[in-house]
Amino acid sequence: MSNLDELSNLPPKPIWDGVLARAVTGDRLALSVVELEPNALVPEHRHDNEQIGLVIEGTIRFTIDGETKDLGPGGTWCIGSNVPHEARAGDKGAVLIDVFAPPRADWEQIEDRPVQAPVWPAR
């Protein structure tokens, strides 16, 4: 496997209904580009992994440990280990970058979908 690739070559994983993620995974961290369909819900959950992220396109309403905020392009978040959080995409959906440390081992168990063109970057 090469250390260099294109997002369009990475198979998407259906994480939740209306939520696809493509991940570049190292030994100690993972970078994911996440596409959310309009109004897609990421239900409240928690995980051992620390998570930071950035909105690239669209809007998303995040609730992290009881704090809620609407975020658009440039909006960021920082989620500590085992902190409860949920999110809902806006009416036009959203594209996010998420970084996890360590990588999400549970995502490795999710079957890949066939490779398809990503929403971002637009070609």
pLDDT in tens, 51-64: 999 999 999 999 99
Task: Please report, for residues 8, 10, 96, the alpha-carbon distance to residue 25 in angstroms, rounded to integers and kept in the order given.
Answer: 15, 11, 16
Q: Are 11 and 113 in contact (CB under 8 A)?
A: yes
pLDDT at 1: 60
Q: Yes or no: is domain 16-105 CATH 2.20.25.90?
A: no
Helix, strand, coil share (%) of the chain residues, nearest 5: 5, 50, 40
H helices of 1-123, in order, are none
pLDDT at 16: 97
In angstroms, the CA 121 to CA 65 distance is: 31
Structure tokens at 119: 């929403």
pLDDT in tens, 67-93: 999 999 999 999 999 999 999 999 999
Residue 30 binned pLDDT confidence (cut-offs 50, 70, 90): very high
Structure tokens at 1: 């496997």
